[in-house]
Amino acid sequence: MNQLHRTLTRRRRWLLGATALLAAATTACAPPTPPPAPNLAACPAAGAGQVQVAVVVQGGPVDSPPVVCVVVPDGSDGLDALAARAQRIGEPAPRLGFGDAFVCGIDGFPAAPACGEGGAEGFSYWNYWTGGSTWDPASVGAGDRTVTQGSVDAWVFGTWDFETTFPAPPALSADFATLTD
């Protein structure tokens, strides 16, 4: 009986040791936990002569961040803010058309050469909005709108026939502080 007890004890120790080694090896070989994704809605610090702008994008690629805060030089326009957004998230610059007066694509959507396409259901394009206390349809094009500290620009992609469907404002707050908190 003592021999059996010693044999079982040795096997138990061996199993415990092997289990510990396996656990250590598994832990040592486990891939590192990736760092958390940056909060793109949080504004980078603005230096002298710079302004912070919240840019909202809805209706494009599913993986596009809905709010990105960017810093641009004072006196920049809405197109500059949209281009800074693309740069911050590593996407291509917005695709423009009609003499650079029209935003055709954001984050590669829709695919080129589509630009304000008309079809049986209406026109598909990026609709431009400005925020503040409420959303307002932009009264001028993004290239003609000078952004200031705390500006909110929004782009909503959709298809509208202007008889039964009309552009709707973004589903997010229009307030800069709320968007970038």
Instruction: Clarify whether residues 7 and 56 are in a common domain.
Output: no
Instruction: Clarify whether residues 75 and 107 are in a common domain.
Output: yes
Instruction: Note down the domain range covering 156.
Output: 50-180
Instruction: Clarify whether residues 22 and 82 are in a common domain.
Output: no
Q: How far apart are CA 110 and CA 60, in angstroms?
A: 8
Which pTM was predicted? 0.79
Position 40 in a domain: no
For 143-172, the pLDDT digits (tens) are 999 999 999 999 999 999 999 999 999 999
pLDDT at residue 17, rounded to an integer: 53
Instruction: For residue 89, give the nearest of 38, 131, 126, 125 by alpha carbon.
Output: 38
Instruction: Clarify whether residues 102 and 27 are in a common domain.
Output: no
| Count of domains for the chain | 2
Q: What is the DSSP letter of 109?
A: B
Q: How far apart are CA 73 and CA 103, in angstroms?
A: 21
Q: What CATH number is given to the structural domain containing 153?
A: 2.170.130.30
Position 44 in a domain: no
Instruction: Clarify whether residues 85 and 55 are in a common domain.
Output: yes
Position 42 in a domain: no
pLDDT at residue 101, rounded to an integer: 85
Instruction: For residue 83, give the nearest of 106, 59, 61 by alpha carbon.
Output: 106
Tokens 């993986």 correspond to what residue? 63
* Rg, Å, the chain Cα set: 27
Position 45 in a domain: no
Low-confidence ranges of the chain (pLDDT < 50): 4-5, 8, 15-16, 18, 22
Residues 6+ apart with CB under 8 A from 24: none
The CA-to-CA distance between both ends of the chain, in Å, stands at: 71
